[in-house]
A and B are shown apart, each in its own frame.
Chain A
């Protein structure tokens, strides 16, 4: 086990598109263990994606269980080759990133998503995420597509209204 070095923006490797995982072997699980240790070493991180440590493969880890008042909370998850199959609603929320030190910004994300992925043993999984957890998953999957939350920033000035529902 080891804490891996996290790439920081503007490292060009963060903009690469990651490749699907094809071998679900012990080498993969060893890397996942290192990736998780790296995530837990970062202050307050709820997720991490393999390209953040320079491995351009479609692997992310999510764990929002330390947060309060979650609408959905699946605890610790290893999501390999994740695909979002459905999006619903949208919400503005504040994001930061292990790869973007000392900056946070507002980003619009879908409020509810359906996801298909495999775990580290290659077993297929299906999830329904909502709210903060859905945001974390979308943030990490962006990393797999070479995107950072910087690519999705919205202005601080005008879109902060908590919209009232239409009646």
Chain B
């Protein structure tokens, strides 16, 4: 029986990583599921659901050659999850401002206490080494309502941090 694995691949970024890794998986008879792939710093990172007939060990063998030849690292976990388990976000939060120690912990901590379940978070640091700024987009589910999140965000953000919170009301038609 085919089962799902979570494949993590990290390595120094260069052109062709996605093409080579997915070609090896295809030739090994695997199916691909949901994925997040992006360049962070000068690394390229892949988190990918892979459906494979066999053990984690045999999946590793399918990938060994490409991983070694492109100087990448991989990690494989068997997962219970499968496709079509999306949760719908009902709130979108944006935070940006001068980078400061602990800003992520402070804001996500306050939001978590106010009932937020983060489904997707993307963040980036722009500016320069001397004057970095931090920007974060969050989508999630507001377990205790939007007002709770709004006040938590206001308290946690403090001086010089811009925040916005918008309801996501998904239109189905």
Contact = CB atoms under 8 A, between A and B. Distances in A.
B122 interface: yes
B144 interface: no
A67 B170 CA distance: 11
Q: Is the interface of B mostly helix, strand, loop or mixed?
A: strand
A93 B171 contact: yes
A94 B173 contact: no
Interface in B22-79: none
B94 A94 contact: no
Interface residues of B, number: 18
Contact of B169 (A47, A94, A140): A94
A135 B137 contact: no
Interface in B96-126: 120, 122
A103 B86 contact: yes
A22 interface: no
Contacts of B89: 94
A136 B12 CA distance: 45
Contact of A102 (B86, B166, B168): B86
Interface string B142-173: 00000000000000000000001010111111
A135 B171 contact: yes
Given A48-B173, A156-B137, A161-B94, 4 more contacts: A93-B171, A94-B171, A98-B172, A156-B120
Interface of A: 42-49, 62, 67, 93-98, 101-104, 132, 135-136, 139-140, 156-157, 160-162
